[in-house]
A and B are shown apart, each in its own frame.
Chain A
Amino acid sequence: MKKEEQQRDIIIIGGGIAGLTAALYAGRMNLEVLVLESELVGGQIINAHSIENYPGFAAIKGSDLIASVQEQAEKYGAVLDEFDRIIRLDLTAQPKIVETESFIYHAGAVIIASGMTRRKLPLAKEQQYLGKGVHYCELCDGHMYQDKTIAVVGGGNAAIDAADFLTKYAKKLYVIHRGSKLTADESSQEKLKKQPAVEILLNTEIRDLNGAGALETLELYDKEQEERRQVPVDALFVNIGVIPNTQLFKGALALDEDARIVAGEDCRTNISGVFAAGDVRTKPVRQLTTAAADGTVAAILAEKYIQSLKEEE
């Protein structure tokens, strides 16, 4: 069956804070805007149970913040499709083509705010224990481990936030980090360290996973002592960083060595009318606030780009 073709002023790829902020601004400029997000609306922060560095809120759940921004964007006419999936792009065409499983869209401009995906645990048995002790979503799966021993691997903000959340279930909670110090905000670290169930293992790598059926032990390697040991755990929650969601754009857009889209503070990419916003863009600081700022810049400059096309006609 032939797919229905539709026109939009701007298509935003990704429904995190950058994409939704761009949608809000584009909507307020009376542009027809569609946000495509085939994973979770909100992106990485949807799992954050307490955000304490977003101006205006002493503390807010990631899901509440996102619901609020989404509602704000939709109020101004932005449409969000969180079930359709992009299968093909032609970003050099004018109008630009975004083909999903259900539609072929023609758009004046495209804003890419596809964000990042959590890095998988690089161990051979990761798949074997996935869902059976190895998890990536503490909000979804933490409840399975009431009064159990839980480990979190990672040392950044997401890992420490996950560990803090999991203390409500765990009788014992290990934070395992290969570096010599955690990289999360000092305030988050201090809060976690006050929890009596928490033990932080620095300079430590996970070398293997073991268990009959479900995960039962981690084989840890202490890099300082150069020793291996088995540590019994019921669950391991993985928070070891993120990778850019740029598979779709390889070959079309300029990417840096980490596969991020090369774009400056004006969010312009190497293709006219295509903007990159948020964590997916090359930049030195990645925060919620900087993602929102990118969404703002990208929407305003996308509007100017669309206007310039109309003036050329």
Chain B
Amino acid sequence: MVKVYSISNCPWCDKVKKYLKAKQIDFTEYNIEEDEAARDMCYKISGDLTVPVTTIDGKAFVVSFDKAKLDELLGL
């Protein structure tokens, strides 16, 4: 399962979401400005609140838009 932690008005968040859509990968988005539990979880995952953070099956995460790392973790 792919999760994207994001905020509104974030160009890199938009880019990650567009990429996942282009690759037809389902994901759930959590807006950490609006969802306090998601905010805490984002901090727990990456150690800060820089967004976007993309998690794959809860095992690995990618900060910002790192295509090579996303491809590797998603098996693209």
Q: Which A residues lie at the B interface, using CB under 8 A?
A: 40, 42, 46-47, 63, 82-83, 85, 131-132, 135, 137, 139-141, 143-144, 214
Contact = CB atoms under 8 A, between A and B. Distances in A.
Interface in B1-58: 7, 9-13, 15, 18-19, 22, 32-33, 47-51
A83 B68 CA distance: 11
Nearest to A47: B11
Contact of B11 (A42, A135, A143, A144): A42
Contacts of A139: 9-11
Given A82-B18, A83-B67, A131 B11 contact: no
Contact of B10 (A42, A132, A135, A140): A140
Given A83-B67, A139-B9, A143-B49, 15 more contacts: A40-B15, A42-B11, A47-B11, A82-B18, A83-B22, A131-B50, A137-B10, A140-B7, A140-B10, A140-B12, A141-B49, A141-B51, A143-B32, A144-B48, A144-B49
Contacts of B49: 141, 143-144
Contacts of A63: 9, 11
Interface residues of B, number: 19
Contacts of A137: 10-12
B4 to A, nearest CB: 13
Contacts of A143: 7, 32-33, 49
Given A140-B51, A143-B49, A82 B15 contact: yes
Contact of B50 (A40, A46, A47, A141): A141
B50 A144 contact: yes
A37 to B, nearest CB: 10
A135 B13 CA distance: 16
A137 B9 CA distance: 11
B25 to A, nearest CB: 13
A144 B7 CA distance: 11
Contacts of B67: 83, 85
A212 to B, nearest CB: 14
B68 to A, nearest CB: 9
Contact of B12 (A40, A131, A214): A40
A131 B66 CA distance: 15
Given A131-B48, A131-B63, A46 B22 contact: no
